[in-house]
Chain A
């Protein structure tokens, strides 16, 4: 069974903290994504990566960075968490132009 695993389901962090969200996929997919999901705004793409050490900005990259040192792992970094980054974060992976498989999500609350 295909699997995308996010390291935490729920996370509470303080304003100004550096936050790491980890995602691992076991399907040998070259493409990986980070989205945030907010009510009324749908899924918005933060960053994606089509190969190790490659990254591309999505629609809302400000305040975030990513790291992809290994094909199976894609990390999202909040350099200095702010309350407006409270959201559900979804990781996904795919082969090019095909179905994306999603993790269960990390609900991040910044206080």
Chain B
């Protein structure tokens, strides 16, 4: 089956620092890929997505590029803010055409002023 591996946390950064959270998947073919975010006390919401190789998803200053050759979908932001403090989850379907959506374990980000 598919597995999604993301960078272990927690991650603590100063405001305006550069953020990278690594994510790799094992699904075959070209599954859709996602980053979700969970702010403290809230539910999961989609941050960005990509549906084919070399696609770049972006939202709220965050970006991730679908890299088929390395089966990766790393999340980046050039300058983090305190309000970005949250848990970030990478997710992948188990293959093109699959109905099964698998999540990574999550990475907790804390941004300090």
Contacts and interface: CB of A to CB of B under 8 A. Distances in A.
Given A42-B89, A90-B44, A96 B102 contact: no
Interface in A55-111: 56, 58-59, 90, 92, 94, 96-100, 102-105
B82 interface: no
B106 to A, nearest CB: 5
Contacts of B106: 42-43
Contacts of A58: 100
A40 B43 contact: no
Contacts of A41: 105
B77 interface: no
Contacts of B31: 97
B103 interface: yes
B29 to A, nearest CB: 11
A82 to B, nearest CB: 23
B105 A97 contact: no
Interface in B40-77: 43-46, 49, 51
A96 B99 contact: yes
A94 B104 contact: no
Given A35-B103, A92-B44, 9 more contacts: A33-B101, A48-B101, A59-B1, A59-B102, A90-B43, A97-B31, A97-B51, A97-B96, A99-B46
